[in-house]
């Protein structure tokens, strides 16, 4: 049980870093296709942002499968947030819920 909380804590730290200081204003604007910057760069910026998150998942779980799942789910979630299909709070709850699942899978299965 302690290992689960250890891995979860690391994943949440990675999430906090990747979604706030490592995202920055440029990436936040560029990943949203509905902004002037995003009109040109959203595909690359959204993918890069999701890859940063996937990198943290790989670093802390040592699982490429979980890292790829993170990239896909994070990218889709942020896309829907940028389209105003989900709120910021729902976006964050999805991200955090994924981290709980990744931590469980990392210690139980992988």
| Predicted structure pTM score | 0.94
The answer to whether 74 touches 98, Cβ cutoff 8 Å, is: yes
Over residues 64-106, the pLDDT tens digits come to 999 999 999 999 999 999 999 999 999 999 999 999 999 999 9
Query: What is the number of domains present in the chain?
Result: 1
**Host domain of residue 90:** 2-107
Q: Give me the phi and psi of 61, to 5 degrees please.
A: -110, -20
Does residue 13 carry a pLDDT above 70?
yes
Confidence of residue 109 (pLDDT cuts 50, 70, 90): confident
Short-list 24, 5, 11, 92, CA closest to 54: 11
Over residues 27-54, the pLDDT tens digits come to 999 999 999 999 999 999 999 999 999 9
Does residue 19 carry a pLDDT above 80?
yes
Mark 30-57 as b/e (b = at least 16 C-beta within 10 Å): bbbbebebbeebbeebbeebbbbbbbbb
Q: What pLDDT is recorded for position 75? A: 98
Q: Which two tokens stand for residue 35?
A: 């902004």
The answer to whether 14 touches 106, Cβ cutoff 8 Å, is: no
Q: What pLDDT is recorded for position 110? A: 64
């Amino acid at each position: 049980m302690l290992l689960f909380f250890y891995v979860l804590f690391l994943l949440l730290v990675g999430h906090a870093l990747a979604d706030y200081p490592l995202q920055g204003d440029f990436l936040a604007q560029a990943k949203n296709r509905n902004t002037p910057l995003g009109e040109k760069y959203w595909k690359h910026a959204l993918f890069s942002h999701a890859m940063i998150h996937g990198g943290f998942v790989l670093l802390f779980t040592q699982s490429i499968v979980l890292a790829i799942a993170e990239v896909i789910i994070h990218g889709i979630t942020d896309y829907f947030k940028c389209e105003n299909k989900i709120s910021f709070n729902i976006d964050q709850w999805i991200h955090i819920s994924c981290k709980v699942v990744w931590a469980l899978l990392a210690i139980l299965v992988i």
